[in-house]
Amino acid sequence: MMSSREDSGCPADPQTVACIGLGIMGQAMACRLIGAGFDVRGVDPNPQAANALAMRGAQMCASPAVAAASAQCAIIMVSNATQVRAVLFGPEGIVHTMPRAGVVWIASTIPADVMRECARRLSEYGLTPLDGPVSGGRRKAQAGTLTVIAGGSQAALEGAMPYLSACAAQIHHVGETGVASTIKIINNLLAASHVVLTAEALALGARTGVALDKLIEVVGCSSGASQMFLNRASRMTQGDHEVHASIDTFLKDLDIALASAQSLGASVPVSRAARAVLARAAQSGMGPHSDTELFDLYQAARALSDEQ
């Protein structure tokens, strides 16, 4: 078994949590942990994100390895699989310092096979991995009412529970490592398609001349409603473009789902059509922007038409 920091005499402190990645979701989750009384040690290359968390009382660290020393739990909320591997196993990764048996909650949305690989490697270092992607967006993260989809051992779930409970209202243990990531990827396939369809439906409504507030009111309590419609429709029509989730993030997550579908020989034409709209938005420079700007894309008639 590979060694970890505890071997050299640095025991884990259950009140210490390393939060690696302080973007929209990571920042909100770290703030919930601070509010729950945990000693949060944060890492993010963005000085603005780091300073914002420091103002809330977190100790900012130069690397994941520094943050994880003496931490009982490390929460990984970075953008993609490459970043996950780097913060776990890179030269400054947590495996080099985190006390043995510490829980590593990987909350990032990554392919299930990468999650299984990371879990196996973490176990070789004597660490306890939790496949734990989250759903709910910025507002639920701020309120501590996220949904956590948890995969892995019962021991991993129990070890992570104090930290999960600070961030989530619903925790679903769905099976072994990789199952949670698979469910999250399918959820995000739906979410990405629904957000595109919401923009498309509202743009069609605008062209017909119906009052969009009435359209939203009726659809919101009818069979065409979805969580994305309920959450995004009014924001789209009111020009609320605060970034809760970016177009780039939806595109990345949908690409994971489409790659999985291709490997399984599954047909997903609707999702591929949604990806084409997201890709057109990203190519026009909207990638880092809020997904609510998709409505503007349709309004400007720059979305993919049936003929394209």
Q: Show which residues are catalytic.
A: 184
DSSP string, 271-285: HHHHHHHHHHHIIII
Tokens describing residue 109: 């949305």
Angstrom CA distances, 127 to 26, 89, 94, 120, 161, stand at 21, 12, 10, 10, 16
Question: Exposure string (b/e) for 183-201, b if CB count within 10 Å is 16 or more?
Answer: bbbebbbbbbbbbbbbbbb
DSSP 8-state code for residue 286: I
DSSP 8-state code for residue 2: -
Distance CA 42, CA 99 (A): 17
Q: What is the dihedral of CA 48, 114, 144, 65, to 10 degrees?
A: -50
Query: Among candidates 34, 32, 55, which has minimal Cα distance to 143?
Result: 32
Distance CA 15, CA 36 (A): 10
Contact indicator for 53, 17 with CB cutoff of 8 Å:
no
Q: Which residues of the chain form beta strands (DSSP E)?
A: 13-20, 39-43, 59-60, 71-76, 103-106, 128-131, 134-135, 146-151, 168-175
